[in-house]
Amino acid sequence: MSENVKLRPEIAALAAYSQGRSPSPDGFKLSSNENPYPALPGVLEAAARHAEINRYPDGAAVALRTRLAERFGVVVDEVVVGAGSSALLQQLFLAAAAPGDEIVYAHRSFEAYPGFVTVAGATSVQVPLTAALEHDLDALAGAVTERTRVVVVCSPNNPTGPAVRAAAFEEFMTRVPADVLVILDEAYREFVTDSGAVDGEHYLGRYPNLVITRTFSKAYGLAGLRVGYAIGPARILSAARATAIPFAVTELGFAAALASLEEQHQRQLDERVTEIVRRRDRLRGLLLEQGWAVPAAQGNFLWLPTGEQTPTATEAFFAADIAVRPFGLEGIRITVGEHESIDRILAVTGALPR
Ligand SMILES: Cc1ncc(COP(=O)(O)O)c(C=O)c1O
């Protein structure tokens, strides 16, 4: 009788991460903030050359860490790679927080944070977003107590879209004690066009308690290969590496990430990002014209404040063969995907009551 097996009650009560829904093969999957473009042929070929799958990958990920270190002007020990930035967020939580400790983050923000906190055995402290659906950095800093081990700042914020202002972030860093780890989750940083937005890259080496996390899943279009990275002080990253599942990133992942950073591929990927950003801004403008109060969007997604009608609006999208991500009775997150999806989205939103 498995009922007799003792489990951690908080884990037994925890639901597994719920993935975005899928439409029909002819529909649009705009529920997981994926990149709509297929892999570049050169990147695919680089991955396919790593066919020695009877061997374990390089657990220390030396080649990719070295390349990223060069690119960000840090030393190799200040870079760690993981199975997506999700894995690195969890590893950092595990490294810093245990039962009795608190991890502070915004709500709404990335849905995986609460589960990762629970897995670490720590306690979540959720700080509401402002009325403009932005991070309330003042309140986040104010929520730090002597039990706080980690504060997470998500910029641009998933699912609402706005990025944190650089000046506000710097002020926030002066208020957080230097023994509390700050993680700046920049999964969507490459889509940011607001010059006043925070850019973790500028702060490398400046704060002894700051780690930034980024990913190849979004702008680089490698979500299926699971490669993310974190940059920060070597001592913190070394602790995070100690919590990792060995060999979680494959050689295929390393090869695709390295190839993506080669100049000609990077240029092509940047062009795709520019196109997604253009589409994002155009779609937001058209939704504003329809009367929707869509917050400033700096990632590859938009927030539609559907409130009470969120479940019916979600079904209206699904009926149009568009999968989107609903959040309670608050709103819907729509990923900026294929060009052809724009008119179909606008037909649905145009027919919904505002
Ligand atoms: C804010 C944020 N952080 C991190 C991630 C993790 O992405 P990945 O594990 O694919 O790098 C996501 C994915 O949706 C995200 O939205």
Q: Which of 214, 235, 262 is the last residue of a domain?
A: 262
Residue 156, preceding peptide bond in cis (omega within 30° of 0): yes
| Beta-bridge partners for 210 | 182
Q: Model confidence over 293-317: pLDDT tens digits?
A: 999 999 999 999 999 999 999 999 9
223 C-alpha to ligand 1 centroid (Å):
9
For residue 109, which atom of ligand 1 is closest to its CA? 1
From residue 173, alpha-carbon distances to 117, 122, 129, 152, 179 in Å are 22, 22, 18, 12, 12
CA 237, chain centre distance (Å): 19
**Residue 97, Cβ neighbours under 10 Å: how many?**
22
Handedness of CA 173, 302, 110, 354 (dihedral sign): positive
Q: Is the CB of 221 under 6 A from ligand 1?
A: no
From residue 220, alpha-carbon distances to 68, 211, 271, 325 in Å are 14, 21, 11, 22
Q: Is the CB of 341 under 6 A from ligand 1?
A: no
77 C-alpha to ligand 1 centroid (Å):
23
Query: What percent of the chain has pLDDT above 90?
Result: 94
**Residue 347, Cβ neighbours under 10 Å: how many?**
12
Ligand 1 pocket test target in 215, 245, 325 with most atoms within 8 Å of CB = 215
44 CB burial (10 A radius; 0-12, 13-18, 19+): middle
- Residues 226, 340, single domain; the answer is no
CA angle 165, 143, 86 (to 5 degrees): 65
pLDDT score, position 257: 98
Residue 316: which residues within 8 A CB-CB, separation 6 or more?
348, 351, 352
Q: Whose CA is nearest to atom 6 of ligand 1?
A: 86
Q: Which of 211, 235, 262 is the last residue of a domain?
A: 262
pLDDT score, position 51: 73
Q: Model confidence over 92-150: pLDDT tens digits?
A: 999 999 999 999 999 999 999 999 999 999 999 999 999 999 999 999 999 999 999 99
CATH classification of the domain holding 281: 3.90.1150.10
Domain extent for 12: 2-39+264-351
- Residues 111, 124, single domain; the answer is yes
Q: Is the CB of 33 under 6 A from ligand 1?
A: yes
Q: Is the CB of 84 under 6 A from ligand 1?
A: yes
86 C-alpha to ligand 1 centroid (Å):
6
Q: How confident is the model at residue 3 (pLDDT cuts 50, 70, 90)?
A: confident
328 C-alpha to ligand 1 centroid (Å):
20
The domain total for the chain is 2
Residue 23: which residues within 8 A CB-CB, separation 6 or more?
29, 318, 321, 322, 323
| Residue 170, pLDDT above cutoff 80 | yes
The Cα 163–Cα 176 span in angstroms is 19
- Residues 153, 102, single domain; the answer is yes
Q: Model confidence over 223-259: pLDDT tens digits?
A: 999 999 999 999 999 999 999 999 999 999 999 999 9
Rounded (10°) angle between helices 310-319 and 341-351? 140
- Residues 252, 305, single domain; the answer is no
CATH classification of the domain holding 251: 3.40.640.10
pLDDT score, position 22: 86
Q: How confident is the model at residue 17 (pLDDT cuts 50, 70, 90)?
A: confident
Q: Is the CB of 317 under 6 A from ligand 1?
A: no
8 A C-beta contact, residue 36 and residue 241: no
The full DSSP string for 50-67 is ---TTSPP-TT-HHHHHH
For residue 89, which atom of ligand 1 is closest to its CA? 4
8 A C-beta contact, residue 190 and residue 160: no
- Residues 239, 291, single domain; the answer is no
Higher-pLDDT residue of 275 and 52 is 275
Q: Model confidence over 192-230: pLDDT tens digits?
A: 999 999 999 999 999 999 999 999 999 999 999 999 999
From residue 102, alpha-carbon distances to 91, 124, 306 in Å are 15, 6, 32
The full DSSP string for 99-123 is TT-EEEEEESS-THHHHHHHHHT-E
Q: Is the CB of 209 under 6 A from ligand 1?
A: no
pLDDT score, position 354: 85
* 181-185 and 148-154 strand pairing: parallel
Q: Model confidence over 143-166: pLDDT tens digits?
A: 999 999 999 999 999 999 999 999
Q: How confident is the model at residue 172 (pLDDT cuts 50, 70, 90)?
A: very high
- Residues 29, 18, single domain; the answer is yes
pLDDT score, position 299: 98
344 C-alpha to ligand 1 centroid (Å):
26
Q: Whose CA is nearest to atom 8 of ligand 1?
A: 84
85 C-alpha to ligand 1 centroid (Å):
6
Q: Whose CA is nearest to atom 3 of ligand 1?
A: 187
Q: Is the CB of 223 under 6 A from ligand 1?
A: yes
Q: State the amino acid at position 6 in one-letter form.
A: K
- Residues 169, 301, single domain; the answer is no
Q: Model confidence over 18-66: pLDDT tens digits?
A: 777 789 999 999 999 999 999 999 999 999 998 788 999 999 999 999 9
- Residues 240, 120, single domain; the answer is yes
- Residues 248, 118, single domain; the answer is yes
